[in-house]
């Protein structure tokens, strides 16, 4: 059973086809972002979790448009330090930040059925938590957006990111344009840019973190480890992905992806029941 597909109202821009994207692949990060701002205006957004790569994308994007839209996901489980960086972006970089949050009915239903720390129980439940707190809110936030930009790098951890293009059609979001302006940047280039331009730095880097997400699902990495080894480390050989950039699909009865799909179906029924009870005064 495959993961649930979504139909999107904004759809693929009919004037933008594959050859245009191939041309974009050769653009440096600043020109790629300038193209997006010129082409999409307010329908372009940077989505960031305020890691080093995100700060570079924000800085380059604001040079093209000082009022560029910035979206971030507040999962409800973020470390305090992430809010500190968010505030530095607002006050120090002068950017408005649109905070996207999960559906409260889904969070409540998930916690009621599986407990608050369900991610430790089963990879399928970890995916469920990431879906409710990250993937579904982003899906909703991107409605009406024509193009979005991320801070993904090809050498930023694991096989799943090795082929990251600079520009792609995002099938998971109705074929909108997804830009990864730093796809061909190294970690060293990112940090050189951050230091040269004195951008805000997430405080957890100083504590040995090399990839920062939710507090219970991120830890510092050790020398020699992959930079995303501190994300969901208890899952061993699984891909270190939450589903925002790689849709996590099922493949068979024992596959965590199939258990995820079953758990998601059940969660939606639970959340619908909660909404019905609230609407009917129960």
Of the candidates 69, 133, 153, 166, which one interacts with ligand SF4 according to CB under 6 A?
133
Of the candidates 205, 216, 266, 275, which one interacts with ligand SF4 according to CB under 6 A?
216
Residue 15 C-beta: closest distance to ligand SF4, Å: 36
Contact string (CB under 6 A) for ligand SF4, positions 48-87, x = contact? ---------------------------x-x----------
- Smaller CB separation from ligand SF4, 68 or 242: 242
Whole-angstrom CA distances from 268 to 132, 139, 263 are: 10, 16, 9
Half-sphere exposure of 176 (CA within 13 A, CB side): 24
Interaction of residue 126 with ligand SF4, rule CB under 6 A? yes
- Residue 6 has a CB neighbour count (10 Å cut-off) of 12
Which residues, numbered 156-215, are part of the site for ligand SF4 (CB under 6 A)? 213-214
- Smaller CB separation from ligand SF4, 133 or 219: 133
Residue 80 C-beta: closest distance to ligand SF4, Å: 15
- Smaller CB separation from ligand SF4, 115 or 144: 115
- Residue 242 known to be catalytic: yes
- Whether the CB-CB separation of 39 and 45 falls below 8 Å is answered with no
End-to-end Cα, the chain, rounded Å: 35
What is residue 129's DSSP assignment?
H
Residues contacting residue 205 through CB under 8 Å, at least 6 positions apart: 52, 212
Residue pointed to by tokens 């990431």: 130
- Whether the CB-CB separation of 135 and 6 falls below 8 Å is answered with no
Positions marked active-site: 242
Give contact residues for ligand SF4 (rule: CB under 6 A). Answer: 75, 77, 119, 126, 129-130, 133-134, 213-214, 216-217, 242
């Amino acid at each position: 059973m495959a993961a649930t597909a979504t139909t999107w109202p904004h759809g693929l821009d009919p004037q933008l086809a594959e050859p245009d994207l191939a041309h974009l692949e050769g653009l440096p990060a600043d020109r790629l972002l300038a193209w997006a701002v010129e082409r999409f205006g307010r329908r372009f957004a940077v989505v960031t979790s305020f890691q080093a790569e995100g700060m570079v994308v924000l800085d380059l994007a604001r040079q093209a448009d000082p009022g560029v839209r910035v979206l971030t996901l507040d999962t409800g489980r973020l470390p305090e330090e992430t809010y500190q960086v968010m505030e530095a972006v607002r006050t120090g970089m002068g950017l408005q930040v649109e905070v996207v949050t999960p559906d409260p009915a889904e969070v409540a239903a998930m916690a009621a059925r599986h407990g608050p720390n369900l991610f430790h129980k089963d990879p399928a439940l970890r995916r469920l938590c990431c879906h409710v707190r990250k993937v579904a809110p982003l899906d909703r936030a991107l409605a009406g957006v024509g193009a979005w930009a991320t801070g993904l790098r090809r050498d930023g951890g694991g096989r799943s990111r090795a082929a990251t293009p600079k520009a792609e059609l995002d099938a998971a979001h109705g074929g909108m344009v997804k830009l990864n302006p730093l796809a061909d940047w190294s970690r060293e280039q990112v940090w050189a840019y951050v230091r040269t331009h004195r951008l805000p730095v997430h405080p957890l880097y100083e504590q040995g973190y090399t990839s920062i997400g939710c507090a219970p699902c991120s830890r510092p990495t050790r020398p020699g480890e992959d930079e995303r080894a501190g994300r969901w480390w208890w899952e061993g050989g699984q891909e270190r992905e939450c589903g925002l950039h790689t849709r996590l699909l099922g493949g068979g009865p024992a596959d965590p992806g199939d258990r995820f799909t079953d758990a998601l179906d059940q969660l939606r029924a639970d959340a619908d029941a909660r909404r019905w009870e609230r609407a009917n005064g129960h």
